Amino acid sequence: MVTLKINDQEVKVAEGTTVLEAAKQLGVNIPTLCNHPDLCVAGNCRVCVVEQKGARTLIAACAMPVSEGMDIHTNSLKVRNARKHIVELLLSEHRADCTKCYKNQKCELQTLANEYSFGEHIFLDLVEDHAYNIDRSSPSFLKDDSKCIRCQRCVRTCAQLQHVSAIAVANKGAHMKISSFHDRPMSHVVCTNCGQCVNRCPTGALTEKTYIDQVWDAIYDPDKHVVVQTAPAVRVALGEDLGYDPGERVTGKMVTALRQLGFDSVLDTDFTADLTIIEEGTELLTRLKKVLVEKDKNTALPMFTSCSPGWIKFIEHKYPHMLPNLSTCKSPQQMFGALAKTFYAQKRNIDPAKIVSVSIMPCTAKKYEADRPEMRSSGYKDIDFVLTTRELAVMIKQAGIDFRTLEPARYDSIMGSSTGAAVIFGATGGVMEAALRTAYELVTGKPVPFTNLNITPVRGMEGVKEATVKIEGTTEEWRFLEGAELKVAIAHGLVNANKVAKAVSTGKASYHFIEIMACPGGCIGGGGQPIPTNVEIRKKRMEAIYSEDMHMDLRKSHENPEVVAIYKEFLEKPNGHKSHELLHTHYIERESY
C-alpha cells in the first residue's frame, strides 16, 4: 500500500494505482478527456494535469502511478490556469457550432468548456486553417474531423478492443489527424461499422448517422404502415438515456412509448431471434451430420454465428477463406425485415410497398447491414431504417413523453412473441445458450442438463469462453451424436473474435460451434448503446438481460408459439425452401485496407 496526500487529505491505495484513481477514492474529481475505463492510458489531452509538490512540471493524473509521500494538489492556481489554457486550446481547434451538433449537451468538451471557458476566448480560431470534410461514406456513422480533439480514444478502441485499426493517427504537428488507410473514405476500409469508436468519442467528431427525421416522416405519412422491432439489448439500456440507472429493465414502458410515438405495430426482434435459433440450430445439426455421418468434405466446421454484422464484415475482410464456416442465417433483424414485407404483409393484408420497417438496435453496424444489397429478399429493402438505442431516446424526448410515468404494455402480434432464449441474445454467450437449450432438446428429447436451464459456463465477461456439452440419450434420428462432446467457444469484442478465428484458421482449435459478437459484452455493449458504456455498465446490463430471461414464461426458442405457427403457416420447415429464400444469405470476400 502507498500513502499519499491529495489536496491535504491522506489516502492509502494499492501500488500501481494512478493519481486519478486515488483522487476518485477521496471523492476528488479530476476532469479527463482522453481517458476511458475500457482503454489503455494515453495521457495526451493533458486536461487531468495536477500539481505534484517538488516536480518540475505538472503531471497527468491519469498516467501517473502513485508513489509514497506524494503531495498532490488538483485545484491549485497553477493547475487551474493550465487547465483553462488546455480547454481553450482544444476549443480553438474544435468547430464549436454546438447548437447544430448532434452531441449538443452530451459532449465532454462542452461540459469542460462550461467549467473552464466562459466569456472571451483567449486564443485564435484554428478551425478555418484546415480544410475539413465530413466523411459521410459509412451508412452507420459520420466522421467530422473539425470536431475532433485528437484524444485518440477511437484509435485505441479500434486497435485495442477491436483489432481492426481502420482508423489511426496520420501526420504530425498541426496536421496530425485521425485518418484511415491512405485517407480512404470509411466505407472503403476495413471498418466494421461496429460503432465502438462512436460510443467512446467525447465530442461530435464521430456520431451515428441518424435517421430520426426519416422515421418521423414515415410515421406521419398516412399511406405508410410503419412497423418497429426492438432488439433484445435495447430494453436493458434505453433507461440510461431517460434518467434511469444502468441495469433497469424498461421493456414494457418502451413498448408503450413506441406506440405513443405512432408506430403502427410494435414488434419484437426477439421473435426472429427465436426463429434464428431454429434455423441456425438446424443448420448446425445438418452440418454435423454431413461431416460425421456422410463424411462430406465440402461442409465446413466449426460453424460461426452470423448475428453480428460487425463480425460479418470483419471476417469478410480478414478471414475470407473461412466464409463457408459462417452460418448462412441472416441476423434476427434481417429475418424480421424479410418476413415483415412478406409473411406479415400477407397476414395483415397490407401492400408490402406501403410497409416501412424500422428497427431499434443497440448497434450502428445494423444500419450498414440493412443497406447490404443482399438484404432485399422481400423484393423491397427489407429494413428501411435502423435507429440506435440513443436515437430512440431522442425521439421519446422529442415527443415530450414522460417515460417514467408510462404504463408498461405488451408487444403486438404477429411477430411480437418471444422467449427468454431470445432475450439473452443481447449478452455474450446468449446465442450459444439459446441454441444449446433448443438443440440439446431436439436431439435428446430432454432439456439441457443445467439447473433452471441456465448454462452458466457460456456466460460472463471473459473474452473467450469455451465449453463442452456431452450429448447423451439421443433419439433415433440423432443416434450418430450419442456420446459426442459438442465443443463450443464464445468470443466478444473483435480482438477476442480475432484470437478465436486465428486459432481456427491455423488449426490450433477444434470446435463445433462458435458464437461471435463484435462488441465487448455482446449487444448490451453495442456501439449504438447509451454513452457512457463501460465495463461496470455492461455488467449491469448483462444482469438485467438474464433477469429478463428468468422472468419469461417460455425460455426455449422452439416453444415460442408464433415460431411454431410460422412454420406451419408459411415457412413449412426449418432450412426449407422458403427459409433459404428469406432467412438465409451469402457473404462477400473483401479487401483488407
Partner 1 sequence: MDNKGLTKVDLIFESVDVRKVMTKAFEMTSEEIIQEILESGLKGRGGAGFPTGLKWKYTAAEKDPEKYIVCNADEGEPGTFKDREILDKVASKVYAGMAIAGKAMGARKGYIYLRGEYRFLLPQLFVELHKFHKMINEIGYDFSIEYRMGSGAYICGEESALFESIEGFRGEPRNKPPYPTVSGLFSKPTSINNVETLVTAVMIIEKGPQEYVKLGTKDSRGSKVFSISGDTPIPGIFELELGMTVQEFVNEFGDGDTKAVQVGGASGFCVPRKKFAETIIGFEGVPTGGSMKLFNSSRSMYNVLHNYLDFFTEESCGQCTPCRVGCQQLLKGVEKVKKGEAKSTYLNELVKLADTMKVASKCGLGQSVGNAFRSIVENFREEIIY
Q: Which residues are catalytic?
A: 280, 283, 307, 327, 366, 369, 374, 523
Instruction: Name the segment binding partner 1 (CB under 8 A); options: 170-178, 339-347, 513-521, 522-530.
Output: 170-178
Please, what is the minimum distance in Å from the beta carbon of residue 32 to partner 1?
Answer: 12
Applying CB under 8 A, which of residues 1, 8, 54, 57 lies at the interface with partner 1? 57
Q: How many residues bind partner 1 (CB under 8 A)?
A: 39
Q: Does 175 bind partner 1 (CB under 8 A)?
A: yes
Helices assigned H by DSSP within 16-165: 19-25, 77-92, 108-116, 153-156
Please, what is the minimum distance in Å from the beta carbon of residue 73 to partner 1?
Answer: 13
Please, what is the minimum distance in Å from the beta carbon of residue 358 to partner 1?
Answer: 41
Please, what is the minimum distance in Å from the beta carbon of residue 68 to partner 1?
Answer: 14
Applying CB under 8 A, which of residues 29, 69, 97, 123 lies at the interface with partner 1? 123
d(CA 331, CA 161): 23
Beta strands, E only, 260-395:
265-268, 303-304, 355-361, 385-388
Task: Give the torsion sign (CA, 337, 339, 342, 344).
Answer: negative
Please, what is the minimum distance in Å from the beta carbon of residue 142 to partner 1?
Answer: 23
Applying CB under 8 A, which of residues 150, 225, 317, 330 lies at the interface with partner 1? 150
Q: Does 588 bind partner 1 (CB under 8 A)?
A: no
Of the candidates 82, 85, 128, 91, which has an alpha carbon nearest to the alpha carbon of residue 109? 91
d(CA 25, CA 21): 6
Applying CB under 8 A, which of residues 78, 410, 446, 479 lies at the interface with partner 1? 78
Instruction: Name the segment binding partner 1 (CB under 8 A); options: 118-126, 458-466, 509-517, 550-558.
Output: 118-126
Name the residue nearer to partner 1 (CB basis): 89 or 503.
89
Name the residue nearer to partner 1 (CB basis): 173 or 507.
173
Of the candidates 410, 387, 386, which has an alpha carbon nearest to the alpha carbon of residue 398? 387
Q: Does 16 bind partner 1 (CB under 8 A)?
A: no
Residue numbers 397-416 binding partner 1 by CB under 8 A: none
Assign residue 355 a region (left: φ > 0; alpha: ψ between -120 and 50; beta: otherwise). Answer: beta
Q: Does 85 bind partner 1 (CB under 8 A)?
A: yes
Residue numbers 88-107 binding partner 1 by CB under 8 A: 89-90, 92-93
Residue numbers 124-143 binding partner 1 by CB under 8 A: 124, 126, 129
Q: Does 171 bind partner 1 (CB under 8 A)?
A: yes
Q: Does 248 bind partner 1 (CB under 8 A)?
A: no
d(CA 536, CA 370): 30
Instruction: Name the segment binding partner 1 (CB under 8 A); options: 63-71, 384-392, 469-477, 521-529.
Output: 63-71
Q: Does 455 bind partner 1 (CB under 8 A)?
A: no
Applying CB under 8 A, which of residues 44, 111, 165, 286 lies at the interface with partner 1? 44
Q: Which amino acid is at 324?
A: P
Please, what is the minimum distance in Å from the beta carbon of residue 77 to partner 1?
Answer: 12
**Cβ atoms within 10 Å of 220's Cβ, excluding its own:** 10
Please, what is the minimum distance in Å from the beta carbon of residue 232 to partner 1?
Answer: 39
For 282, which DSSP code? H
Q: Does 41 bind partner 1 (CB under 8 A)?
A: yes
Residues with Cβ within 8 Å of residue 46, at least 6 apart in sequence: 60, 82, 86
Q: Does 165 bind partner 1 (CB under 8 A)?
A: no
Assign residue 252 a region (left: φ > 0; alpha: ψ between -120 and 50; beta: otherwise). Answer: alpha
Q: Are 95 and 127 in contact (CB under 8 A)?
A: yes
Task: Tell me the three state secondary structure of residue 468.
Answer: strand
Task: Count how many Cα atoms sit within 13 Å of the Cα of residue 244 in the half-sphere of its side chain.
Answer: 25
Cell of 434: 439459446
Q: Does 305 bind partner 1 (CB under 8 A)?
A: no
Q: Which amino acid is at 351?
A: D
Q: Are 148 and 178 in contact (CB under 8 A)?
A: yes
Applying CB under 8 A, which of residues 19, 20, 61, 86 lies at the interface with partner 1? 86
Name the residue nearer to partner 1 (CB basis): 37 or 445.
37
Residues with Cβ within 8 Å of residue 76, at least 6 apart in sequence: 51
Of the candidates 435, 444, 448, which has an alpha carbon nearest to the alpha carbon of residue 477? 444
Q: Using CA atoms in the order 449, 454, 455, 459, what is the torsion angle rounded to 10 degrees?
A: -170
Please, what is the minimum distance in Å from the beta carbon of residue 193 to partner 1?
Answer: 25
Q: C-alpha angle with apex 24: 529 to 60, nearest 5 degrees?
A: 90
Name the residue nearer to partner 1 (CB basis): 33 or 436.
33
Residue numbers 187-206 binding partner 1 by CB under 8 A: none
Applying CB under 8 A, which of residues 9, 25, 29, 81 lies at the interface with partner 1? 81
Please, what is the minimum distance in Å from the beta carbon of residue 138 to partner 1?
Answer: 24
Instruction: Name the segment binding partner 1 (CB under 8 A); options: 174-182, 228-236, 315-323, 448-456.
Output: 174-182
Q: Are 252 and 409 in contact (CB under 8 A)?
A: yes
**Cβ atoms within 10 Å of 539's Cβ, excluding its own:** 17
Q: Are 2 and 14 in contact (CB under 8 A)?
A: yes
Q: Does 312 bind partner 1 (CB under 8 A)?
A: no
Q: Are 3 and 12 in contact (CB under 8 A)?
A: yes
Please, what is the minimum distance in Å from the beta carbon of residue 40 to partner 1?
Answer: 10
Instruction: Name the segment binding partner 1 (CB under 8 A); options: 123-131, 356-364, 441-449, 551-559.
Output: 123-131
Name the residue nearer to partner 1 (CB basis): 158 or 242.
158
Q: Does 169 bind partner 1 (CB under 8 A)?
A: yes
Indicate the helix (H) or strand (E) that contains 1: none
Q: Does 43 bind partner 1 (CB under 8 A)?
A: yes
Name the residue nearer to partner 1 (CB basis): 182 or 321.
182
Cell of 84: 483553462
Q: Using CA atoms in the order 590, 139, 273, 315, what is the torsion angle rounded to 10 degrees?
A: 20
Name the residue nearer to partner 1 (CB basis): 61 or 424.
61
Radius of gyration of the chain measured on its C-alpha atoms: 25
Indicate the helix (H) or strand (E) that contains 169: strand 168-170
Name the residue nearer to partner 1 (CB basis): 64 or 517.
64
Applying CB under 8 A, which residues contact partner 1? 41, 43-47, 49, 56-58, 60, 63-65, 78, 81-82, 85-86, 89-90, 92-93, 122-124, 126, 129, 149-150, 152, 168-169, 171-176
